[in-house]
Amino acid sequence: MDPVGGPPTVQAAPHAPSECDAQPTRLGVVAHEPLDVPRRPHVLSPEAFYPLAYPAMFLSRQLEARLLELFRKGYVKGTVTSSAGNEATAVGAAMPLRPGEDVAALLHRDFVAHLLLGATPYQLVCQYLANAESPTHGREGNVHHGDAAQRRLPMMSHLGRMLSVAVGTTWAARRQGEDVFGLAVIGDGGSSTGEFHEAINLAAVRRVPVLFLVQNNNYSFSTPTELQYRCANLSDRAAGYGIAGKTIDGTDAWEVYTTVQQALALMQPDPEPMILECRALRLQGHAAYDKGDYVPREKLEAWRRRDPLPATRQRLLDIAGYSEGEAAELEAEVEAAIEEAVHDALRVGRPEPKRHAWVSYCSRARSRVAPFAAPRAKNGDAVRLALNYLLEHNGRAFLAGQDVGTYGSAFKTCKGLIERFGAERVMDLPICESATVGFALGASQVGAEPILEFQFADFATEATTQIGLNAGTWFFRAGRPAPLLMRLPCGGGLTLGAFHSGEFEGLWSCFPGLKLLYPATPQETFEALLAGFYDRTPCLVLEHKLMYWSRSGPIEFDGNLADVWRPRRYTEGDRLTLVAFGAMVHDALAAAAEVGGGIEVWNPFVLRPLNLDPIRQSVAKTGRLLLVQECAAAAGIGYPLIGELFCQGAFSLQCPPELVAATDTPVPFAPELESYYRPNPGKIAAAIRRMVHP
**Is the bond preceding residue 614 a cis peptide, omega within 30 degrees?**
no
Closest CA to 439 of 182, 162, 46: 162
Taking the complex as a whole, the smallest distance from the CB of residue 261 to Mg ion amounts, in Å, to: 25
DSSP labels, 607-640: EES---HHHHHHHHHHS-EEEEEEEETTTSSHHH
Rounded CA-CA distance 324/398 in Å is: 57
DSSP annotation of 482: -
Task: In angstroms, give the least distance from the CB of 158 to ligand TPP.
Answer: 4
Asked if 220 interacts with Mg ion (CB under 5 A), we say yes
The least CB distance from residue 229 to ligand TPP, in Å, is 11
Contact 109, 189 (CB under 8 A): no
Q: Which of 55, 160, 168, 187 binds Mg ion (CB under 5 A)?
A: 187
Between 277 and 527, name the residue whose CB sits nearer to Mg ion. Answer: 277
Q: Is 331 exposed, middle or buried (0-12, 13-18, 19+ CB in 10 A)?
A: middle
**Closest CB to ligand TPP among residues 196, 257:** 196
Question: Least Å distance between CB 280 and ligand TPP?
Answer: 10
With CB atoms as reference, the residue minimizing the distance to Mg ion is 187
364 touches, from ligand TPP, Mg ion, none (C-beta below 5 to 8 Å by class): none
Which residue's CB is nearer to ligand TPP, number 147 or number 188?
Answer: 188
172 CB-side CA count, 13 A: 27
CA distances from 18 to 21, 90, 258, 455, 566 (A): 6, 21, 10, 52, 64
Distance between CA atoms of residues 214 and 236, nearest Å: 12
- The helix or strand, by DSSP H or E, that contains position 110, with its residue range, turns out to be none
- Provide, rounded to whole angstroms, the least separation between the CB of residue 211 and Mg ion: 18
- Closer to ligand TPP at the Cβ: 381 or 462? 462
Pick between residue 277 and residue 333 the one whose CB is nearest to ligand TPP: 277
Q: How far is the CB of 188 from Mg ion (least distance, A)?
A: 4
**Residue 675 three-state SS:** helix
Closest CA relative to residue 683, chosen from 575, 595, 607: 595
Q: Count of CB atoms within 10 A of residue 296's CB?
A: 12
In this structure, the number of other CB atoms found within 10 A of the CB of residue 134 comes to 24
Q: How far is the CB of 606 from ligand TPP (least distance, A)?
A: 32
Specify the residue, 66 or 282, whose C-beta has the smaller distance to ligand TPP: 282
Q: Which is nearer to ligand TPP, 215 or 247 (CB)?
A: 215
How big is the CA angle at 428 (ends 423 and 432), to the nearest 5 degrees?
150
* 525 touches Mg ion by CB under 5 A: no
Residue nearest to ligand TPP (CB): 187
Residues 6+ apart with CB under 8 A from 225: 5, 188, 216, 218, 219
Q: What is the DSSP string of 509-536?
A: TTSTT-EEE---SHHHHHHHHHHHHHSS
List the single partner that 499 binds among ligand TPP, Mg ion, none, CB under 5 to 8 Å by kind: none
Distance CA 578, CA 601 (A): 5
| Interface with Mg ion (CB under 5 A), residue from 102, 188, 527, 535 | 188
Q: How far apart are CA 39 and CA 485, in angstroms?
A: 36
Rounded Cα–Cα distance for residues 586 and 152 (Å): 48
Smallest gap from residue 412 Cβ to ligand TPP (A): 37
Query: Which of these is catalytic: 144, 145, 500, 544?
Result: 500
Which does residue 407 touch among Mg ion, ligand TPP, none (CB within 5 to 8 A, set by kind)?
Answer: none
Note the residues at the interface with ligand TPP (CB under 6 A). 109, 157-159, 187-190, 193, 215, 217, 219-221, 282, 286
Residue 109 beta carbon to ligand TPP: minimum distance, rounded to whole angstroms: 5
In the complex, the smallest distance separating the C-beta of residue 537 from ligand TPP, rounded to whole angstroms, is 24
Strands 223-224 and 219-220 turn out to be: antiparallel
Q: Considering the rule CB under 5 A, would residue 489 count as an interface residue with Mg ion?
A: no
Considering the complex, state which of residue 217 and residue 409 has its C-beta at the smaller distance from ligand TPP: 217
User: Closer CB to ligand TPP, residue 277 or residue 524?
Assistant: 277
Q: Which helix (H) or strand (E) holds 507?
A: helix 505-508
Q: Which is nearer to Mg ion, 280 or 684 (CB)?
A: 280
CB of 189 to Mg ion, least distance (A): 5
Distances in Å between the alpha carbon of 234 and those of 160, 219, 365, 523, 527? 15, 13, 44, 52, 48
Integer Cα distance of 587 and 684 in angstroms: 8
Report CA-CA distances (Å) from 449 to 269, 411, 441, 525.
27, 23, 9, 19
Segment interacting with Mg ion, rule: CB under 5 A, options 183-191, 230-238, 418-426, 459-467: 183-191
Determine whether 158 is an active site residue.
Answer: no
Residue 502 partner contact from Mg ion, ligand TPP, none using kind-dependent CB cut-offs of 5 to 8 Å: none
The nearest distance, CB 80 to Mg ion, in angstroms, is: 16
Asked if 508 and 514 touch (Cβ cutoff 8 Å), the reply is: yes
Question: 383: how many CB neighbours lie within 10 A of its CB?
Answer: 28
**Residue 217 found at the interface with Mg ion (CB under 5 A):** yes
By the rule CB under 5 A, 193 interacts with Mg ion: no
Nearer to Mg ion, 272 or 277 (CB): 277
DSSP SS3 for 61: helix
Cβ proximity to ligand TPP: between 170 and 215 the closer is 215
Between the alpha carbon of residue 378 and those of residues 156, 322, 553, the distances in Å are: 41, 76, 6
Q: How many CA atoms lie less than 13 Å away from 468 in the CB half-sphere?
A: 15
All residues at 6 or more sequence positions from 129 whose CB lies less than 8 Å from its CB, including other chains: 70, 75, 76, 77, 345, 346, 348, 350
Interface residues toward Mg ion, by CB under 5 A: 187-188, 217, 220
What are the residue numbers of the active site?
Answer: 500
